[in-house]
Chains A and B, each alone.
Chain A
Amino acid sequence: MGTCVITGAGSGIGKATAIKLSECGYFDSFALVGRNQSDLEATRDSMGAHASNVRIFNIDLSYPERIPEVVSAIVEQMGHIECLLNIAGYTDPTPLLATSLESFELTYKVNVFAPFMFMRECVKYMKQRGGKILNVASTAGMTPRPGWLSYASSKAALISMSDTLTAELSEYGIMVYCVSPGRCATKLRRRLAPEEDPSTIMQPEDVAEVICRLVNPSEACLDGQNIVIRKVIKK
């Protein structure tokens, strides 16, 4: 038992993962990190019996420089960190000629700089006892996506960071996982594909199911690779 930090816990895959994990019993403490207080409270209220200690940490990840303070607060209030799930994501899908520097920067702040800062700060505490880190990337980070420049390249960065850190953190007994979901019915997906019927694609709960399997303490073979999550949809 221990503490699991979940970013983007207020909606989508983050919320579904928090709820699913609270039913698994791998962790008894959860730090729910996100921007919207009421969304995080709704997640907390939906969590299962194993979540005996759930705390909410409000932060807008477009200010990654504030993350050290949040991680310090998590350790202060919860004692230690065993698992970090970088799930929060942002997208503003535009083609190259329509992409502003501000938009590109914002995407990288949330999708790259924030996971980097969370990993750096959490590893300071995790390296004495080991643990698990899981980054949620995207299939967009593996294949060309015209019109999704900032999002796709930011997810490619996250895939690469996961790969590097798998080797770099191995001595500490910290395992780094990376998953790349395909089309998944989240708010973010709605921005990327507004015309799509969400009921026809993979649901956040499907991704959460895979994440739970990976962060199961007995799982010891699937770190260090970009695991693509796609669901066969019955038509």
Chain B
Amino acid sequence: MYTLLLLSGGVGTRMQNAVPKQYLLLAGKPVIMHILERVDQIDSISDMVIVCAPEYESHIKQMLQQYGVVKPVRFAPAGATRQQSVFNGLRLVESEDVILHESARPFVKVEDFERLIGASHRNATFGTSIPFTVVKGHERFEGLLTRSELVNVQLPQKFETRLLKEAHKKAIEEGREFTEDGSMIFHYFPDTYVEICEGMDYDIKLTTRIDMLAGEQIYDDVFRRRK
């Protein structure tokens, strides 16, 4: 069985909105509830851990009740960095395997979660090819990257809980920050096979106001059944 670890600690500054984006309405429903409702239907996920700012805990609990979510949910406080938030959530994970996701990515279908769970390897992520050119540099070109060798890493991901906890402990000991957990596993356990499953073009992360506008169209196209 799996535990869903849902990162929901964002404060929404890039959205220029007082309310963090995961609590804004998308297609008439709070962004965070899109994932929670769908995960609630997946038998192989036993429970959920939501990492959020403590002041939003009661708000989320109220929404869980309103939307009739039945799986057990526990809460962990968001950390100062994404990595700290994952670590805080992992402390509550008891299942042997964990699915890591973030509430700002609401466009993941039940079938997508099931495809990840069914991936051949225990540690796996979604990923898509990169349709644009990326180079190293800040104010000037400092190095070239080969596009065909790159992957855009998408959540959700799944990991062996024990391995991910261990990787986080090592990162804390070394004072290293990773922006994504597959990379962390790969760094500390290079022999571990981290599978890349074919990702979804609709699995965007809602970051800016434009993403919210585009998100309405994505929802309409991918999730609304009435055409």
B177 to chain A, nearest CB (A): 37
The contact size tier of chain B is 10 to 19
Flag if A171 contacts B225 (CB, 8 Å): yes
Flag if A223 contacts B226 (CB, 8 Å): yes
- Residue A168 at the chain B interface, CB threshold 8 Å: yes
Residues of B within 8 A of A173 (CB): 225
Measured CB to CB, the nearest residue on chain B to A123 is B68
Within A108-127, the residues touching B (CB, 8 Å) are 124-125, 127
- Residue B208 at the chain A interface, CB threshold 8 Å: no
- Residue B41 at the chain A interface, CB threshold 8 Å: yes
- Residue A224 at the chain B interface, CB threshold 8 Å: yes
For A185-202 the 0/1 string (1 means CB < 8 A from B) is 000000000000000000
Residues of B within 8 A of A128 (CB): 41
Flag if B68 contacts A124 (CB, 8 Å): yes
- Residue A166 at the chain B interface, CB threshold 8 Å: yes
Measured CB to CB, the nearest residue on chain B to A168 is B28
Residues of A within 8 A of B224 (CB): 167, 170-171
Within A37-92, the residues touching B (CB, 8 Å) are none
- Residue B56 at the chain A interface, CB threshold 8 Å: no
- Residue B193 at the chain A interface, CB threshold 8 Å: no
Measured CB to CB, the nearest residue on chain B to A223 is B226
Q: What separation, in Å, do the CA atoms of A175 and B225 have in the docked complex?
A: 10
For B30-73 the 0/1 string (1 means CB < 8 A from A) is 00000001000100000000000000000000000000100000
Q: Given that A124-B68, A127-B68, A223-B226 are contacting pairs, would A167 and B41 also be in contact in the complex, using a CB cutoff of 8 Å?
A: no
Measured CB to CB, the nearest residue on chain B to A166 is B226
A164 to chain B, nearest CB (A): 8
Q: What separation, in Å, do the CA atoms of A168 and B37 have in the docked complex?
A: 14
Residues of A within 8 A of B41 (CB): 128
Q: What separation, in Å, do the CA atoms of A167 and B226 have in the docked complex?
A: 8
Residues of B within 8 A of A164 (CB): 28
Q: What separation, in Å, do the CA atoms of A168 and B226 have in the docked complex?
A: 10
Q: What separation, in Å, do the CA atoms of A125 and B28 have in the docked complex?
A: 19
Flag if A171 contacts B68 (CB, 8 Å): no
- Residue B186 at the chain A interface, CB threshold 8 Å: no
Residues of B within 8 A of A175 (CB): 226
Flag if A224 contacts B226 (CB, 8 Å): yes
Within A145-173, the residues touching B (CB, 8 Å) are 164, 166-168, 170-171, 173
Residues of A within 8 A of B27 (CB): 167-168, 171
Flag if B226 contacts A170 (CB, 8 Å): yes
Q: What separation, in Å, do the CA atoms of A7 and B226 have in the docked complex?
A: 26
Residues of B within 8 A of A127 (CB): 37, 68
Q: What separation, in Å, do the CA atoms of A228 and B127 have in the docked complex?
A: 50
A158 to chain B, nearest CB (A): 18
Q: What separation, in Å, do the CA atoms of A128 and B223 have in the docked complex?
A: 15
Within A124-142, the residues touching B (CB, 8 Å) are 124-125, 127-128
Q: What separation, in Å, do the CA atoms of A128 and B226 have in the docked complex?
A: 17
B27 to chain A, nearest CB (A): 8
Within B7-39, the residues touching A (CB, 8 Å) are 27-29, 37
Q: What separation, in Å, do the CA atoms of A164 and B29 have in the docked complex?
A: 13
For B195-227 the 0/1 string (1 means CB < 8 A from A) is 000000000000000000000000000011110
Measured CB to CB, the nearest residue on chain A to B222 is A171
B32 to chain A, nearest CB (A): 15
Q: What separation, in Å, do the CA atoms of A164 and B226 have in the docked complex?
A: 13
21 contacts between A and B (CB under 8 A): A125-B68, A127-B37, A127-B68, A128-B41, A164-B28, A167-B27, A167-B28, A167-B224, A168-B28, A168-B29, A170-B223, A170-B224, A170-B226, A171-B27, A171-B223, A171-B224, A171-B225, A173-B225, A175-B226, A223-B226, A224-B226
The residues of B with any CB-CB pair to A shorter than 8 Å are: 27-29, 37, 41, 68, 223-226
